[in-house]
Structure 1
Amino acid sequence: MDFKQLTYFITVVNEGTISAAAKKLHMTQPPLSTQLRLLEDEVGCLLFERGPRSIQLTDAGRMMYSRASTLLHMSSLMKDELQEYRHGSHGTLRLGIVSSVGSTLFCQWFREFHESHPDIRFEISEADTYQLLEKLRGGLIELAIVRTPFPAGDFHCIPLKKEPILAAGHRSFLEQISSDKITLQELSRLPLILYRRWEGILEEAFHSADLELSPFCKNDDARTTAFWTDAGLGVGILPASTMTLFRHEDIIWKQIDDERLTSSISVIRSKNAYLSAIARIFIEYLQSWSEQE
């Protein structure tokens, strides 16, 4: 089994027929069919159910497709990284980023970085922190910009920015609170819209104050919290930098009166993974930005 055979296999699956795959690969159909039979003989499994007009993957074929896709992707990444090693600051940075940063602060960071390094391209993966950790472990991304808390054992972590978590909502929910801060007791009486990442630390804070956390809505994306809050459905719990997501003029926000309710933005990488030249340049830029804040 070699990468050429895996490429043939993936192409046949993607094209749906051997004849279409042969055309895509610029080869005739008989040698392609031969390579597929050799692959099946080597793995000892039937990978395709061959029909008159199309082919269907067997269970073994579906497993093979998943593994082969990953192997070919990793091979492509390795070639790209070796090219970038030769050319220094030219190439593509594979970066993961959580939505609460990608839709707010990162636009500013990217614009300034791009002005200084116009030859560097970006391949962005947007997901939650735990999905990005898995992508880092699998080598699918090189760096990730995430928010605490997260299990940092396998990763080298560089803190960039610490900010308070705020309560935001239409004036009808918050204008009766005269202070710039809102207490947990006051929060407990409001319909809270909660990004699920903050559920654990909020529950801990509420429990220590002998209060019950009973959110109106829990969700998996900071942008959803912002959109629901903007629509007047309740009071959103979000980091300070996400306040730029709001569009309604009646939205006001207050800092939660509890020192535990903060969030740190960090750039992380796998401890034992190769770090490209462009990744090092980007980390240095982020550290410089952080020191100026």
Structure 2
Amino acid sequence: MDLRQLKYFLTIAEEGQITSAARKLQMAQPPLSQQLKQLEEELGVQLVQRGPRSIRLTDAGVMLRDRARQILELADRTARELGEHVKGMTGTLSIGTVSSSGSALFQDRLSEFHRAYEGVKFDIHEGNTFKILDLLNRGIVEIGIIRTPFHASSLECRYAESEPMIAVMTRELAFAESRSSIEFGELKDRPLIIYRRFEQLITDACLENGFEPDIFCMNDDARTTLTWAGSGLGIGIVPRSAFGLVSRDNLLYKVINSDSLRTRIAAVRMKGRFSSALADHFFERFGE
């Protein structure tokens, strides 16, 4: 028994004639009669008593007529509500992002969300992690896109997959080009260009490997790290997915083999705070 059969039966019950029901359904009478017969056989009950000019519902037919009305009304209402729900996903979603999230990884999630909710527009605020968390706290943005590590005690978090950090450099400063990765200890005595957000993470990793970092430049933006590295002034350290933020033909990178030097993009929002349906849907779709 499916919705189509229930619709056929309810039309017959309401019209009181198979001929009239077939006309209303814009179908031939024999197929409609066959559908009624199949429904009775499937349910194992007689639903109508057939007369020369009309039909009369049996007790089972009356019961199914009432149920069919409820089922079809519920199905119709559900379809309308789902359609209205999707159409209702309009408006502007405010998101705060750090520069290193402007990668293919984040763009893929934005594109996926846009395909699902084409009426949604975006208001993007950029800054470092501290600024994004401040914007969240003040309610200026509903969702923050930041990178680990960060203090998560007051936040709900949805994480993307983990990725390694990379050493970015010009060919003049490069390690052997045939290698796609380097060991962390090979960064010893190399001038490093780092994003301030990762200062503690990188310093700790250096100390674990028995040396202090030679930090040539500290800055507040992954794009600045890449730009300075592209000028041949030192070796930049950024997340792998941030490499494409600046177009530099003379740059190449090596993955740094270090379990402690990995990072993840995360979508975050404040715990216990009301959020819009847009923010709820984006947040739920972000994680792994």
TM-score (normalizing by structure 1): 0.64
Matching residue of 2:253: 253
Contact 1:104 1:245 in 2 (8 A): no
Q: Which residue number in structure 2 is paired with residue 174 of structure 1?
A: 174
1:272 and 1:191 map into 2 onto residues whose CA distance is 44
Q: How far is the alpha carbon of 1:198 from its aligned partner?
A: 1.2
CA positional deviation for 1:116: 2.7
- Aligned equivalents of 1:278 and 1:202: distance in 2? 36
1-structure distance, mates of 2:137, 2:153: 12
CA-CA distance at 1:232 after TM superposition: 2.2
Deviations, residues 214-241 of structure 1 (Å, cap 9, x unaligned): 2111100011001111222221100010
CA distance in 1, matches of 2:177, 2:206: 19
Whole-angstrom distance in 2 between the partners of 1:240 and 1:155: 25
For 1:228 and 1:97, the matched residues in 2 are separated by 22
Q: How does 1:201-280 map to 2 (within 5 A)?
A: 201-280=201-280
Distance 1:119 1:88 in 2: 8
Structure 1 vs Structure 2 CA RMSD:
2.0
Runs of 4+ residues deviating >6 angstroms: none
CA contact (8 A) 2:91 2:121 kept: yes
Query: Which has the higher Rg, Structure 1 or Structure 2?
Result: 2
Report deviation, 1:136.
1.3
Query: Does the aligned pair in 2 maintain the 1:130–1:150 contact within 8 Å?
Result: no
CA distance in 1 between counterparts of 2:241 and 2:254 reads: 13
Name the count of aligned residue pairs: 203
Rate the CA distance shift 1:144–1:194 in 2: closer, same or farther, 3 A.
same
Q: Please give the alpha-carbon distance, in whole angstroms, between the structure 2 residues aligned to 1:216 and 1:104.
A: 29
Shift of 1:209: 1.9
Q: Which residue of 1 aligns with 2:142?
A: 142
* Deviation at residue 122 of structure 1 after TM alignment: 1.2
Which SS does the other structure have where 1:255 is aligned?
Answer: strand
Provide the residue aligned with 1:62 in structure 2: none
1:246 shift after superposition: 4.1
Contact 2:103 2:244 in 1 (8 A): no
Quote how far apart the aligned CAs of 1:88 are: 3.8
**How big is the shift at 1:119?**
1.0
> Which residue does 2:78 correspond to in 1?
none
d(CA) in 2 for partners of 1:185, 1:283: 38
Kindly state the Cα deviation for residue 183 of structure 1 after the two structures are TM-superposed: 2.4
Q: Which amino acid aligns with 1:204?
A: D
Quick one: distance in 1 between partners of 2:271 and 2:126? 21
Contact 1:230–1:247 (Cα < 8 Å) also in 2 = no
Contact 1:88–1:278, Cα closer than 8 Å, also in 2: no
The corresponding residue for 2:122 is 122
Q: Residues 86-109 of structure 1, C-alpha deviation per residue, up to 9 Å, x if partnerless?
A: x84121111111111135543343
The answer on whether the counterparts of 2:148 and 2:263 sit within 8 Å (CA) in structure 1 is: yes
Q: Does 1:198 find its partner at 2:198?
A: yes
Name the residue aligned to 1:133.
133
Q: Which residue of 1 aligns with 2:183?
A: 183
Whether the 8 Å CA contact 1:171–1:250 is kept in 2: the answer is: yes
**Alpha-carbon distance between aligned partners in 1 of 2:95 and 2:194, rounded to the nearest angstrom:** 26
Identity of aligned residues (%): 37
Offset at 1:267? Answer: 0.5
Conserved 8 A contact 2:103-2:241: no
Amino acid at match of 1:248: R
Which residue of 1 is the match for residue 152 of structure 2?
152
